[in-house]
Structure 1
Amino acid sequence: SEMGTLFTHSRHESFEEVNVIKRNDGEDVADFLYLKHKPSEEIMKFFISEMTKMRRQHDVALQEKTEELFRLKREFHKEKGTVPFRKDKEFELVSDAASKMSLHSSLEATLLKQVKNLKGEVEDLKVEGNVKDVVDRSILRGIFNDYSCFMEDIEIQNNIMQVTYSILLQGVFCEALSPRNPAMQKYFDEKASLKETLLEKEKVLSSANEENQRMKQETTSLSVLINEKDQLALEARSSLIQQKEQYDIVCHDPNILRDQVGKQEKLISDFRKDSDSMKTQLDEAFQQVLDYELEISKLKQDLNTTTNALDEAEKQNLLLCGIVEEKQRTLSSSVLKDKEQVKWLECSMFAMAEMSKAFDDFKNKMQEKIRRNENRCLFSF
């Protein structure tokens, strides 16, 4: 009777566990309906955690039932092994053993039935798990379909916004580059004036370089003449020494000595005149060199002024770009602008970028020419 009570109690507990599992499944379905309106990430996390929890509960329940089955079998065999079969026992003991055997047989049948019921419950749990998986997949499929539709709507909206913004930008560009724009007209005028100024400065530098080359050639020729005069002075000195020797030889003849002294004085006087004229020419040449240096310094100052003007023009260009960008931001906030203004903005921005690039190229070329002219002036000295 104790074994029957034990089996009945364990079977009642198993039925209660099955009811709890079914009740939990109903709560899970309610949770799924509640989570249908949640974000996809939360739904995925919830599904993963619930599937893990269900698998763990199923494994624990199956293990408990298996352990309970083996425990009951051990008790049954233990109880069966304690029955005495001695022949010298009385008839009452034999009848008690027979009743116990019948009890054990009924218990064994009960256990087999309970095992069969447990197997059926396990199969039911598997079927419920499969059904829940199908429901979860259908819910996930619906969520993914909703998400894909939402993403397609967002993509269509983005395409519409891109087309609208491109039209707006085109209008702003066209307006910025229109000849009617006073800022752009002023920029073109300043650029033309700066270009003319740079051309004039290049011509002045070229003429100054030519003049420096001519002065350099004159200075070289003067240096050659000075060397020749020095050579003549050396020759005159050597001739004076020779004449002195001759004077020592013919010192007894006053007339010859007077003639030689007169010739030497004449040579010295001619040499002094030539030296004075050469010094005068050298002084004039150095004065011209100083004048050219002053002129080159003025040209460098003019170049610096032109460079500053180019920098100022670049700042104005950046300011114009800022104005255009400000117009772009203003126009991007007001989507309902006129289509013609949008097209004009895009054209103006494109032309502004091209003009800025051309201006940078022009500036780099001018700076390179200025550096070459400065190097040419320095090398000429």
Structure 2
Amino acid sequence: LYIMETEEVMESVRVSDNGDNLSRDLLGQLGMGENGSENLGDCLVEEMDLYLDDINDRLMISRMVSDSVIKGMVNAVEEEAAEKIAAKELEKTNLKESLDFLHVGSNNIDVKNEPESSKSEQFMSFSYGSVGHDKMRESLHSLRTVSTEQFLRLRKEIDGIRGSGAIRRIGSGSEMVGLGGILKETESWVGVDRTVDRLKMIMDIMCKTVDDILLSKTSLCEWQQEQEFQRELEAMVMRSALRSIEEELKERLWDQNVHCCDGQGVKWVEKFNEILSLHKQLDAILKLLPNPEAGQLVSHGSGDLDHTHRKTLSNHTPISTSRWEGNGKVDKSKTDDDGNGKVDKSKTGDTEHFDALQLKHMSNKELVDLSNNTIAKMKRDHECAVQKMTEEIFKLKAEYLKEKGSSLPHRKEKEFEVLRKKIPEVISKLDDILVDNEKFPDFSNSGESPSSLKDRLDGLLSENHQLRDSLINKENEVRCLSSRVSDAAENILQRSLAEANLQNLIGNLNAAVEDVRMEVSVTEDVFKCVFRELSSQIKCNNVESQMELIIMQGIYEIVFREATLGAEITGKCETENSDLETTIVQGLSEVILRETIKDTEQELKKLYRLCSVAKDNEVSLQKKILKLENGLISEVKEKEKFREEVVLLKKSVQEKEILAMQASAALTKEREQLELSSQELNTLRYDASQRSKELESVKSKLLKAVQEIEVDRLELSSLNPKLEQAMKELKEAEKQRQLVVALTQERQNDLLSFKAKEDEFRKQMDAIIVFVNWLLKSFANFECRVAENINANNSRLEHSRSQLSSLMKKANTLRRTGLLYKQKLERRYCDLQLAESEVDLLGDEVDSLFSLLEKIYIALDHYSSILQHYPGVR
């Protein structure tokens, strides 16, 4: 019996502690006594300290690993955000380049082609957006897989650490010292599990939020609405830009016509009159040159030159007189002649009749060709006449020198020859200048009357007033929107305060739940330890009582044997006494066992009462959590409604901003047009500039308001995940509570509810998979349609680009021709300045020649009596 009882004690110790060392120590304790029990307690304390140190080291390692995992996840998210930002910036640059290209090449594009280009840009941006969504989905999938792998590794490492060091101390009443170490150990492991669960929960929240953003129908609808809104705005901007460009070109052409008609005609007429006067002065100088026999011929030649020059003027001046009636300078230049007026009048009448009948029916090109042909003919006639006259002069001079000889010094003849050469050159230059009046612009067909210009100015003024009225209306709308934005900001602040209060409540509830969990776990561990120790104590007491009974029986047997040897007579009495003593001892042992059992039952009842109180506390806390969840759900719904209102307000603010920008652009363009049209609208320009400044200030205010709205939206977006996280934490608390209930129900064999839930979940997953497949098919069809529309729009854009290139070439040629005309005019002006300087020099030489002529007349008067005797001199 003794051996059997010792074997049972050893088996109980092995089952409770799972170690051979403790069984040996207990055997030594049974054999050695109190000193052995003390040594065993010290060894267990040392082993528990070493075990806790090892656990702390491994916990530090696990924290380091979790920190590295979190850092890697954060870096991956940052890299993805940077890639998304770069992609959006590339889309912005592409859109800006396309808009710049359309603004540069939109001088002569019809308004009908503009909606197509805006549609193509919209579909391009939509394709970029779909590609960005696909990339984001792929990156999220990869992140999710990596995070799950990392969490699985962490769990395996933690389980390995637990399994390697899961040795707990169980002993007698003297071994109660290690309970605090066990509690610390459980608390540390609970904290590790909690941190891992929180990390996993955060990752799930992030992945779910991004999936909701990518896959939700509302986000797609909002994105499509924004794209349509941008498309309409771009079309409006392009139309306004094209209209403004066309109006600017028209007004520039009108201004050029007006300036040329007002200033250049008068300048040209004045220059022609000055050239005619110079021509007459040179003819007079030629007449005054000393050659009496050739004088008549020279004068005759000068008359022919005047006749030819008047022909050229008669071919050019009637056009100018017919175009510019009321200028009396040209009529005076026509009436001046030197004795040959009849012929000139008849010729000018013919040319005027020719211009009146034919030039009205001619186009601009035909008029230019006709003027070029007439000028070329006149040049040829003039050159032939000049050559004939010079040849006749030289012939007459040679005959005169042969007959009379050189009466003047050779030096004077050279000077006269130089003068005679210079004067025809100057006359030819003046004729060339007169011939250049072909470049006088023909504005008879394109000119307008001042009444039409006045009507146009009145129209511009009326448009300006309309724009002012629209600006005032838009300013009022902007003020209303700013007031709405301020109200929305106040509402957002109130909601943010409410969210902060809710977060504080959620934090307090979470802390209370965690405290309750800790208390429950501690009480469970304490109950387990106490129960184990009580069971061990009961077993030890049973063993000790049995040992005492065995020893007492042995002692009684020995005493009984000695009594039988000593006295056989008294043996019967002693045996009866020994039997009584054994019965008394057995009764005492039974009483002791009953009392110990009663004490243990009372302690177990107390522990059961404590457990019931803890469960009641849990039920009350769960009720409170349900109430708070209902309040949070209602507040979340209100926040979603408020978000929709903020989105609508933002869209309206953007529309008003764009309308204000268009109005400011129209005002600036109208201001430039009014500056070109007249100087009387300077005051209106100043008012328009002030209005534009006010619009810019209002625009800046609106931009600030929009930025504030975006900041509030970001704050809301940052608070929403926190709310969702809190909700999920509460849900997880409920799940854990349900798991505890499920464990209790599993002990009661209630597995049917779990199977039903699994079936429902499978059905939901099948429905979700079918819906996802339908969405994928619809997206594929939509992408095909978008690709077809993009190709069509690209072909239209290429066609418009070809048209724009041809128009740009024409504009460049027109600019080049304008520059060439300007250069030619500058050259002619320089030639005129040179001619004026030469005329001044000729005037000085004429003065010197007049002095010589006076001397010659004096000499002729002196020798007049001698010259009368010669028959050839009269």
TM-score under structure 1 length normalisation: 0.50
**Alpha-carbon deviations, 1:282-308, whole Å to 9, x = none?**
222233333333333222222212211
Distance (whole Å) between structure 2 residues aligned to residue 349 and residue 164 of structure 1: 20
The answer for the alignment partner of 1:353 in structure 2 is 699
Q: How much does 1:352 deviate?
A: 4.1
Unaligned ranges ≥5, structure 1: 1-33, 44-134, 148-156
Distance (whole Å) between structure 1 residues aligned to residue 696 and residue 468 of structure 2: 11
| 1:142 to 1:277, Cα distance in 2 relative to 1, 3 A | farther
Q: How much does 1:173 deviate?
A: 8.1
SS of residue paired to 2:642: helix
Distance (whole Å) between structure 2 residues aligned to residue 176 and residue 348 of structure 1: 14
The answer for the alignment partner of 2:651 in structure 1 is 315
Distance (whole Å) between structure 1 residues aligned to residue 621 and residue 441 of structure 2: 94
Distance (whole Å) between structure 2 residues aligned to residue 353 and residue 204 of structure 1: 32
1:238-317 alignment runs, 5 A limit? 238-246=532-540, 248-249=542-543, 250=545, 252=586, 253-317=589-653
Distance (whole Å) between structure 2 residues aligned to residue 285 and residue 198 of structure 1: 31
Distance (whole Å) between structure 2 residues aligned to residue 349 and residue 170 of structure 1: 13
| 1:173 to 1:366, Cα distance in 2 relative to 1, 3 A | farther
* Contact 1:222–1:282 (Cα < 8 Å) also in 2: yes
* Contact 2:660–2:695 (Cα < 8 Å) also in 1: yes
Between 1 and 2, higher relative CO (CA 8 Å, sep ≥ 6) is seen in: 1
**Alpha-carbon deviations, 1:337-369, whole Å to 9, x = none?**
993874565245324422331232112111111
1:58-207 alignment runs, 5 A limit? 143=439, 171=468, 175-176=472-473, 181=476, 183-207=477-501
| 1:224 to 1:350, Cα distance in 2 relative to 1, 3 A | same
Q: How much does 1:323 deviate?
A: 5.8
Q: How much does 1:375 deviate?
A: 2.6
| 1:268 to 1:36, Cα distance in 2 relative to 1, 3 A | same
Aligned-residue RMSD, C-alpha:
4.9
Distance (whole Å) between structure 2 residues aligned to residue 257 and residue 377 of structure 1: 59
**1:372 aligned to 2:718?**
yes
Identity of aligned residues (%): 7
Distance (whole Å) between structure 2 residues aligned to residue 142 and residue 279 of structure 1: 113
Distance (whole Å) between structure 2 residues aligned to residue 290 and residue 352 of structure 1: 49
Distance (whole Å) between structure 1 residues aligned to residue 629 and residue 438 of structure 2: 88
| 1:375 to 1:165, Cα distance in 2 relative to 1, 3 A | farther
* Contact 1:173–1:343 (Cα < 8 Å) also in 2: no
* Contact 1:177–1:184 (Cα < 8 Å) also in 2: yes
**Alpha-carbon deviations, 1:206-242, whole Å to 9, x = none?**
0111111111111221111111111112113212322
| 1:243 to 1:341, Cα distance in 2 relative to 1, 3 A | same
| 1:357 to 1:214, Cα distance in 2 relative to 1, 3 A | same
* Contact 1:226–1:278 (Cα < 8 Å) also in 2: yes
**Alpha-carbon deviations, 1:76-102, whole Å to 9, x = none?**
xxxxxxxxxxxxxxxxxxxxxxxxxxx
Unaligned ranges ≥5, structure 2: 1-358, 370-431, 443-452, 547-585, 675-680, 730-874
* Contact 1:209–1:377 (Cα < 8 Å) also in 2: yes
Q: Which amino acid counterpart does residue 175 of structure 1 have in structure 2? A: I
| 1:166 to 1:366, Cα distance in 2 relative to 1, 3 A | farther
Residue among 709, 714, 717 paired with 1:363: 709
Distance (whole Å) between structure 2 residues aligned to residue 366 and residue 166 of structure 1: 41
**Alpha-carbon deviations, 1:261-320, whole Å to 9, x = none?**
221112111111111121122222233333333333222222212211112212332453
* Contact 1:168–1:345 (Cα < 8 Å) also in 2: no
The answer for the alignment partner of 1:219 in structure 2 is 513
Distance (whole Å) between structure 2 residues aligned to residue 344 and residue 291 of structure 1: 59
Q: How much does 1:188 deviate?
A: 3.2
Count of residues in Structure 1 that have an aligned counterpart in Structure 2: 242
**1:38 aligned to 2:365?**
yes
* Contact 2:471–2:663 (Cα < 8 Å) also in 1: no
Q: How much does 1:254 deviate?
A: 2.2
**Alpha-carbon deviations, 1:51-85, whole Å to 9, x = none?**
xxxxxxxxxxxxxxxxxxxxxxxxxxxxxxxxxxx
Distance (whole Å) between structure 1 residues aligned to residue 469 and residue 691 of structure 2: 2
The answer for the alignment partner of 2:246 in structure 1 is none
| 1:330 to 1:372, Cα distance in 2 relative to 1, 3 A | closer
Residue among 530, 541, 552 paired with 1:236: 530
TM-score under structure 2 length normalisation: 0.24
| 1:263 to 1:166, Cα distance in 2 relative to 1, 3 A | farther
| 1:171 to 1:237, Cα distance in 2 relative to 1, 3 A | same
SS of residue paired to 2:365: coil
| 1:257 to 1:323, Cα distance in 2 relative to 1, 3 A | same
Distance (whole Å) between structure 2 residues aligned to residue 209 and residue 198 of structure 1: 16
Q: Which amino acid counterpart does residue 365 of structure 2 have in structure 1? A: K
Distance (whole Å) between structure 2 residues aligned to residue 266 and residue 37 of structure 1: 126
Distance (whole Å) between structure 1 residues aligned to residue 523 and residue 656 of structure 2: 67
Q: Which amino acid counterpart does residue 191 of structure 1 have in structure 2? A: V
Q: How much does 1:202 deviate?
A: 0.5
Runs of 4+ in 1 over 4 A off after TM superposition: 163-174, 321-338
Moved more, 235-244 or 332-341: 332-341
* Contact 1:240–1:264 (Cα < 8 Å) also in 2: yes
Distance (whole Å) between structure 2 residues aligned to residue 362 and residue 211 of structure 1: 28
**Alpha-carbon deviations, 1:164-183, whole Å to 9, x = none?**
999879946862465xx3x3
**1:209 aligned to 2:545?**
no
Q: How much does 1:247 deviate?
A: 5.4
* Contact 2:482–2:702 (Cα < 8 Å) also in 1: no
Distance (whole Å) between structure 2 residues aligned to residue 201 and residue 301 of structure 1: 12
* Contact 2:467–2:663 (Cα < 8 Å) also in 1: no
* Contact 2:489–2:709 (Cα < 8 Å) also in 1: no
